[in-house]
Amino acid sequence: MPPVADLAAELRALVGEDAVLVSVEACTPFECDALNTQRHRPDLVVLPRTASAVLDVLRACRRRSVPVVARGAGTGLSGGALPVAGGVLLVLSRLDRILEIDVARRLARVEPGVTNLGISQAVAGHGLYYAPDPSSQVACTIGGNVAENSGGVHCLKHGLTVHNVLAARVATMDGEELVLGSTSGEAPGLPLLALVTGSEGMLGVVLEVTVLLKPRPARVELLLAAFGDVRRAADAVGRIIASGVVPAGLEMMDAPAIRAAEAFVRCGYPVDAEALLLCELDGLPADVERDLDAVRRLLLDCGATSLRVAASEAERLRMWSGRKSAFPAVGRLAPDYFCMDGTIPRRHLADVLERIAELSREAGLPVANVFHAGDGNLHPLILFDAGRAGDVERAEHLGAAILELCVAVGGTVTGEHGVGVEKLGPMCTQFGAGELEAFHAVKHAFDPAGLLNPGKAVPTLARCADYGAMRVHGGKLPFGHLPRF
């Protein structure tokens, strides 16, 4: 591997003097993503401004066998953008142009550094919007959304990123371009766009994305229902879906999350409730009216202690603000927290939440729950103090136990945050040797040298054989001496 100074000089000639960072002061802000308990200061950061510059960087790194980790806004929650020793951190935030808005075909073509919310803001004047809306949408970028297959509070009805992306230009580690998908919605060959979406930067680097735009619904109504216990709220979720109603969003929060959100943004949440549901309905006015009546009756039948419908658009946004601000709100309760991300069948919601409470008591660490109840995507927030001896390890073990619980009831270790480095251990619980070998075979087909985001998302068989030691500290991946494939 070449000295950093030699590689930096070559890259500066390719992308410009100010686009290559090597000093400690300049590189330290990029040492982690939102999973900030795991850090490694990158040796070299490159911030290209064009897609052609990205290709040049990849070719240079491939010639020198230098690993590359692509990074967007750094809002990822699983350590997917954690730099690797001796590698280049390729930051795509400067590729932030909206290249085309086609109102007639309801699509937009954008560079990877465009923010999620920025797309909706750009097309709002045409009565359109981009449906996936992660809580970090004001900051997270579309390239990162593709890498993680991001969702949001409205993914129950309107889908994840994979359902709202029509095409993408992707660069391989060799610096070649792949054009995946089609603006017509149909393309010959294997569905590689779906394969790349959610691949966490292991297969290619996103250069451009064509997204589907949707018309603003004619009517939107938001209900807030409070419950005296979590089980009643969880049961109500299943009853709503079983009735045939498909809400645009169906979110649940428990008492610690409710109180934290209310204290943080004053959104009007009932602080005496043990659980609340936010149920949003959208569509044609007559359909929404019918569903609104049906859901209201169901919630009351399930034991809701109070129920209200947003009286205005301002109140609707205020009610959503508590849910969308839940993560920073809970962050005020403890010096640190882990945001977990597992998905379970809806019928197990109540039992799993009760078991999470038991695991929380056993670990001696509080847990607040806020999650996409409609599709069973849980986000337990484990509160701890990294400055207190043993807390990080206890929090990690508690998080792993929660994810293993999700798998045990027929779920999965991630719904939208990705695996990154955080969930490599629990991946061994969900998948067997044959499946892991297949994952590595796909990786090898796209990136034979294993230079793109190495050590992320898919554990090695050797790693799974020693799962008990699988934790990442100080930016160093365990078993780094073992073959990747």
pLDDT in tens, 91-117: 999 999 999 999 999 999 999 999 999
Task: Collect all residues with Cβ–Cβ distance below 8 Å to 281 and sequence separation of at least 6.
Answer: 220, 221, 222, 223, 245, 247, 248, 288, 291, 292, 295
Output the 3-class SS for 314-334. HHHHHHHHHHHCHHHHHCCCC
Distance of CA 257 to the CA centre of its chain: 19
Give the pairing of strands 20-21 and 98-102.
Answer: unpaired
Q: Is the pLDDT of residue 76 over 60?
A: yes
- The conformational region for residue 198 under phi > 0 = left, psi -120 to 50 = alpha, else beta, is left
| Backbone torsions φ then ψ of 121, nearest 5 degrees | -65, -35
| Backbone torsions φ then ψ of 334, nearest 5 degrees | -155, 160
d(CA 418, CA 448): 22
- DSSP-derived 3-state class of residue 349: helix
Residue spans per domain, the chain? 4-91, 98-215, 219-321, 334-422, 425-469
Biggest alpha carbon distance in the chain? Answer: 70
Report pTM: 0.91
Fold of 98-215: 3.30.465
Q: Is the pLDDT of residue 479 over 80?
A: no
Residues above pLDDT 70, as percent of the chain: 95
pLDDT in tens, 286-345: 999 999 999 999 999 999 999 999 999 999 999 999 999 998 999 999 999 999 999 999
Fold of 4-91: 3.30.43
Neighbouring-strand partners of residue 275: 227, 254
Domains 98-215 and 334-422 share a fold: no
Domain 334-422, CATH class in plain words: alpha beta
Tokens of 440: 């590595």
pLDDT at 185: 78
Question: Which residue's entry shows tokens 């070449």?
Answer: 2
pLDDT band at 2 (very low <50, low <70, confident <90, very high): low
Question: Which residue's entry shows tokens 């299943």?
Answer: 238
Q: Are 261 and 329 in contact (CB under 8 A)?
A: yes
pLDDT in tens, 387-418: 999 999 999 999 999 999 999 999 999 999 99
pLDDT band at 467 (very low <50, low <70, confident <90, very high): low
CATH code of 219-321, in short, is 3.30.70.2190
pLDDT in tens, 127-164: 999 999 998 999 999 999 999 999 999 999 999 999 99
d(CA 404, CA 425): 10
pLDDT in tens, 41-55: 999 999 999 999 999
